[in-house]
Amino acid sequence: APSVSAAPARTFPEDFFWGASSAAYQIEGATEADGRGPSVWDSFTARGRIKDGSSARVACDHYHRYPEDIALMKQAGFSAYRFSLAWPRIIPAGRGAVNPAGLDFYDRLVDAILAAGIRPMACLFHWDLPQPLEDAGGWRNRAIADAFAEYARVAVRRLGDRVGDWFTLNEPNVVAINGHGTDDHAPGLRLGEKGVLTVLHHQNLAQGDAFRAMRAERSGLRLGTVCNLQPARAESDRPDDQAAAIRWDAVWNRVPLDGVMRGAVPDVLAPWFEGIVQPGDLDRIRFPIDLLGINYYSRMTMKHEPGRLFDAGWGDAHCQRWTGMGWPVQPDGLYDLLLEFKQLYGNPAVFIAENGAAYDDVVTPDGKVHDAERVAFLRDHVAAVGRALAEGCNVKGYLVWSLLDNFEWAEGLSKRFGIVRVDYDTLQRIPKDSYHWFAETIRAGRVV
Ligand code: PNW
C-alpha cells in the first residue's frame, strides 16, 4: 500500500536512546548538605584554582531542583539520563561509615527519573574523590581499589533494584593527565609520566574490582565504563611528530580502553610502566563489559615537544571551526572513531555518553537564547553517529553534554555547555534553541 504519510523516514532506530549526561559535582550544589564530606574539588576550589573565582557550592542547585530538571528532560522526549553519584555524599570519609542521607537523595532522584519514563544510568566516579582518600594517597595508592569496590557495592545494594545501567569511571585519562600530570584539575599534581600511568593503572584496578563487586552483589545489571576517546593524529609527517602522536594516543585512549577490553597495556609505554604493573593485575583489569560509553569532543593534533608529558605537545589542528573552549570542531573524528572501534574491538555495544560544546551564549531582551553554533555542532555530530550506524556500528544511544549549563571544573561557571541556560543569580532554567532542536530530532528519529 502506498504510504499516506509524507514524513521523511527515521534514520535512527526506534530503540535508540536519547538524552543527556551530567556529573554530581557540576550540577548539585549543596556541597555541605545532609552529611556530605569534602572532595578534592572542594579543596582545589578553596586553593583559588578556579579561573573565574566561582565555586560549585550552589552550581545549578540540582540537589533541590531535580524535579524541575527531570521535567525538562521529559518534555524533550529523553529516553535515558546518565548522572553520577557523589562518593562523598554516600561514604563521606571515602571508606567506612555510610551516610544514609546521601543514599536517600539518590533514591529520590532515581524514583523521579523512573516516574518520568526515563532510563537512569548511574556513574560511580565523576571526579569528586573524597578528600580523606586523597590524604591517604588518592589514586597514587593501590589500596584505593578496595575503597572503590566497597563504595560500588553500597551503591548497587541500595539502587540496583531500579538502576539497571552502572558505570564505574568517567574519563580516567583526564583524572590522570589533567589532575596528576598538568595540574589544571584536582588534586592538582605534576607527577610526571610514571605518576600519570600509576594513577591510570590504579583506576583500572579499582574499576575491575568494582565490576566484580557489583556482579557479586546483584545479577542482571548492565555494567560498563566511560572513556573519553579523542583520536590523536600528528601535526606533520615528521617521524618525531608521528611518534609523539602514537605515544599520546597510547596514554589518552589505549590505556583505559585496552585495559578493560583486552587486559593489555600498550607496548610503546613499556619503559614507563616498568614496576607499576604487578603479577595478576591485567586479569583484574580486564572485564567483559556490557556497554561502553564514549565521550567525544574533538580529535587531538600532536607534535614532538620535549619537556611536555611524554614529549608530546599540541600541534596545529588545521581547523577553521572552534568552540568556546578553544577546541576544534571535528565531527568526522567521531565517525572515524566509531568505525575504527568497530573494526579493532569486534563491534561491541557502545553509546555516545557525552558530546557537546561551550559557546558564549547571548540572552535576547525577550529572554531567548539563539545558540545557532551549538545547534550546528550537535547536528553535525548526531549526523556523524547516523552515518556510523548506517555502516553497521553498534551504537545504542546518544547523550548530549549537557542538559544544563554547569560548573565546568577549572573554568568555573563561565563556560556554558547546556542546551538549557542557567541564570546563576535566579537559578532560572531557560531552554535554548538547541534544546528545541534536540527535542525535534528525538521526535523525528533523524537529524532535523
Ligand atoms: C569532560 N580534553 O571533560 C567531562 O566528562 C565533563 O565533566 C566536562 O564538563 C566536559 O567533558 C566538558 O569539558 C573533558 O582535554 C575534559 O580534551 C578535558 C577534555 C575533554 C573532556
3-state DSSP assignment of residue 44 = helix
Q: What is the average pLDDT across 2-22?
A: 87
Residue that is written with C-alpha cell 550540577 in the block: 27
The yes-or-no verdict on residue 329 having pLDDT over 90 is yes
* pLDDT value of residue 424: 98
pLDDT band at residue 3 using 50, 70 and 90 as cut-offs:
low
The CA-based angle 167-291-126, given to 5 degrees, is: 25
Strand ranges across the sheet with 232-234: 232-234, 300-304, 312-314
Beta carbons within 10 angstroms of residue 288's beta carbon: 9
Distance, CA 6 to ligand 1 centroid (Å)? 41
Q: What is the average pLDDT across 65-86?
A: 99
Q: How far apart are CA 379 and CA 368, in angstroms?
A: 20
Condensed to tens digits (0 to 9), the pLDDT of residues 100-151 reads 999 999 999 999 999 999 999 999 999 999 999 999 999 999 999 999 999 9
* Cα-based torsion angle of the residue sequence 392, 395, 401, 402 in order, rounded to the nearest 10 degrees: 120
* pLDDT value of residue 192: 97
The CA-based angle 140-206-398, given to 5 degrees, is: 115
DSSP 8-state class, residue 181: T
Q: State how far Cα 349 lies from the chain centre.
A: 17
Q: How high is the mean pLDDT of the chain?
A: 97
pLDDT band at residue 4 using 50, 70 and 90 as cut-offs:
low
Condensed to tens digits (0 to 9), the pLDDT of residues 87-102 reads 999 999 999 999 999 9
Closest residue by Cα to atom 16, ligand 1, is 174
Condensed to tens digits (0 to 9), the pLDDT of residues 387-444 reads 999 999 999 999 999 999 999 999 999 999 999 999 999 999 999 999 999 999 999 9
* pLDDT value of residue 284: 98
The yes-or-no verdict on residue 292 having pLDDT over 90 is yes
* pLDDT value of residue 332: 98
**Ligand 1: which of 21, 50, 171 to mutate, most ligand atoms within 8 Å of CB?**
171
Is 28 assigned a catalytic role?
no
Q: What contacts 135, CB < 8 A, 6 or more positions away?
A: none
* pLDDT value of residue 6: 72
User: Long-range contacts made by residues 135-143, C-beta under 8 angstroms, separation at least 24?
Assistant: 136/94, 138/40, 138/187, 138/199, 139/175, 139/176, 139/180, 139/198, 139/199, 139/202, 139/203, 139/206, 140/180, 140/191, 140/195, 140/198, 140/199, 140/202, 141/202, 142/202, 142/205
Condensed to tens digits (0 to 9), the pLDDT of residues 219-250 reads 999 999 999 999 999 999 999 999 999 999 99
The yes-or-no verdict on residue 1 having pLDDT over 60 is no
Residue 228 Cβ inside 6 Å of ligand 1? The answer reads yes
Ramachandran sector of residue 77 (left: φ over 0; alpha: ψ -120 to 50; beta: rest):
left
Q: How far apart are CA 260 and CA 285, in angstroms?
A: 6
Is 134 assigned a catalytic role?
no
Q: How far apart are CA 158 and CA 217, in angstroms?
A: 10
* Kind of pairing between the strands at 291-295 and 350-354: parallel
Distance, CA 362 to ligand 1 centroid (Å)? 23
Whether this model's pTM surpasses 0.95: yes
